[in-house]
Structure 1
Amino acid sequence: MPIPTGSPAVDRSLLRDDVYRRLRDAIIDGTFTPGEQLKDGELAEWLGVSRTPVREALLRLGSSGLVVALPGRSTRVSTIDAPAVRDARDVIAAMHELAVRQTTGRLSDDDIERMRAANRRFAEAVASGDVGAALDADEEIHRIPVAALGNRAIETVLDQFDPLVRRAERLRFRADGHASVDLHSHLIDLIAAGDASAAATLAFDIWHTLPTEPRTDD
């Protein structure tokens, strides 16, 4: 039969990004554990896709440091490497410092209220022990100034290095995330007051409260 002309083409970029996010989240939330081998055929069957977007996703995960590929052998989930996490954390801290410095005084009241609402959700998630929800809310808080700035270079850097830090951050929120509630609240207050210098400094310092050494008592 002739190929239909009225049907929209499958958006391959959306499929590729969705596969990447699914695999990234499965590593961050511990579904796939450090050292576990990832086989593209098994992952493709699990996600209901072909091997091609899975292989592309694994390459992206490798550039983020979440997987280690051994040529001709296997791809495995990386261990949490303290120096790598420190390096990624420092880069992320600098990106958020820049975004906050440049958007303080420019964020709308709605932006600031969304940050406060996300921090309330963060506090509730920490109190209930819902680490996944805490991570989502934390990311939303910090991404609002980034999105408002609209600097694609910053967004690209964060997309690359965030996953490695989020995996370490998950361990912190599992143990105790209560201090972060107050830090977030102070940051939002400084942004709302238009104090760009103090807000940017705190945005940088918040990321440096993240311990990079993996816990041994979990």
Structure 2
Amino acid sequence: MNEAPLIQSGGQGTETVTVAAQNGKMNEITSLERRPEGGPGPIRRTALHDTLVSHLRDMIIEGDLAPGTRLHEGQLGEQLGVSRTPLREAIKYLASEGLVELVPSRGAVVKRFSAKDVKDMLTVLQSLEELAGRLACEAASDAGIAEIRAMHDEMVARYKAGDRLQYYKLNQQIHTAIAQLSGNAALADMHAMLQTRLKRIRFIGHEGPEKWAAAVAEHEEMIAALEARDKGKLSEVLGRHLTKAWERVRDSV
């Protein structure tokens, strides 16, 4: 059953008509810009690339697509209701993030990291976050810190609701935001790359009530140190948090 067209003002006399089919599958969204004189402008088709990438990434994070799993375009395309072309592009994007490998004669495979790979990446991530914490306490605006507090409060709400995936996404957004508040673009870029590759591993670190509760407690310390602009404390908490992250996942990799 198709959804009725949604008409929104596009500003300066334009309107955008968006039509999306609701059939349980991912579909293309067609945008039609109306010119000020009332005639239709060019149709822009936007493949749901971002949605598809996000969905596949979530499947990897939650283990629905386990490490070593071959990504069959035909099967996945049928399951998700998309053609091979946008699916292939989404898989290539995940390969650029380091979550998928493009293996000769096998095709696309969910990346499997060794224990040493994980330990090495967490070691570098720990150093980056310790530095980010110190810099953020010096450089962050009050508004930037308030935004992280809001994310933290929502993360705790997701924890109390038992919504593990949404909790985890907010958790990762907080770490990303602290890196960005450092004001050091090189640090933030390197942090983003490593954090993306470790998404599945970090998610495992919240399995079980004790591990999850411990991670939340560490985040409570984090936000308190950031709000106090105590750079020594925030750096220490972030470093300890990453050390504990390895302890929580080392038996699972």
Whole-Å Cα distance in 2 between the matches of residues 148 and 190 of structure 1? Answer: 14
| Cα-to-partner distance string for 1:161-211 (whole Å, 9 max, x where unaligned) | 223322122222121211222222222222222222332232233122113
Q: Does 1:215 align with 2:248?
A: no
Match of 1:168 among 175, 178, 201: 201
Q: Which residue is equivalent to 2:41? A: 6
- Distance 1:124-1:214 versus aligned 2 partners, 3 A rule: farther
* Structure 1 contact 92–161 (Cα < 8 Å) conserved: yes
Structure 2: which 5+ residue stretches go unaligned?
A: 1-38
Q: Which residue is equivalent to 2:23? A: none
Match of 2:154 among 100, 117, 121: 121
- Distance 1:122-1:78 versus aligned 2 partners, 3 A rule: same
- Structure with higher RCO (Cα < 8 A, 6+ apart): 1
Give the deviation of 1:101 after TM superposition: 1.9
Query: 1:81 is aligned with what amino acid?
Result: S
Whole-Å Cα distance in 2 between the matches of residues 90 and 148 of structure 1? Answer: 21
Query: 1:22 is aligned with what amino acid?
Result: H
Q: Which residue is equivalent to 1:106? A: 139
* Structure 1 contact 19–54 (Cα < 8 Å) conserved: yes
Q: Which residue is equivalent to 2:16? A: none
Give the deviation of 1:153 after TM superposition: 3.3
- Distance 1:57-1:83 versus aligned 2 partners, 3 A rule: farther
Please, what TM-score do these two structures have when normalized by structure 1? 0.78
Q: Which residue is equivalent to 1:185? A: 220
Q: Which residue is equivalent to 2:177? A: 144
Aligned length: 211
* Structure 1 contact 135–166 (Cα < 8 Å) conserved: no
* Structure 1 contact 105–191 (Cα < 8 Å) conserved: no
Q: Which residue is equivalent to 2:115? A: 82
Query: 1:208 is aligned with what amino acid?
Result: T
| Cα-to-partner distance string for 1:26-62 (whole Å, 9 max, x where unaligned) | 1001221233220223334444554344334333433
Q: Which residue is equivalent to 1:133? A: 166
Whole-Å Cα distance in 1 between the matches of residues 173 and 146 of structure 2? Answer: 12
Whole-Å Cα distance in 2 between the matches of residues 53 and 81 of structure 1? Answer: 30
SS at match of 2:102: strand
Whole-Å Cα distance in 2 between the matches of residues 135 and 171 of structure 1? Answer: 10
Whole-Å Cα distance in 1 between the matches of residues 46 and 181 of structure 2? Answer: 26
Query: 2:124 is aligned with what amino acid?
Result: V
Aligned-residue CA RMSD (Å) = 3.0
- Distance 1:49-1:202 versus aligned 2 partners, 3 A rule: same
Flag the structure with larger Rg.
Answer: 2
Q: Per residue, is there more strand in 1 or in 2? A: 2
Give the deviation of 1:8 after TM superposition: 6.3
> Percent identity at matched positions?
28
Q: Which residue is equivalent to 1:30? A: 63
Q: Per residue, is there more helix in 1 or in 2? A: 1
Whole-Å Cα distance in 2 between the matches of residues 53 and 157 of structure 1? Answer: 27
Whole-Å Cα distance in 2 between the matches of residues 52 and 159 of structure 1? Answer: 27
Please, what TM-score do these two structures have when normalized by structure 2? 0.68
Whole-Å Cα distance in 2 between the matches of residues 101 and 52 of structure 1? Answer: 44
SS at match of 2:138: coil
* Structure 2 contact 77–87 (Cα < 8 Å) conserved: yes
Structure 1: which 5+ residue stretches go unaligned?
A: none
- Distance 1:210-1:70 versus aligned 2 partners, 3 A rule: same
- Distance 1:160-1:106 versus aligned 2 partners, 3 A rule: closer
SS at match of 2:42: coil
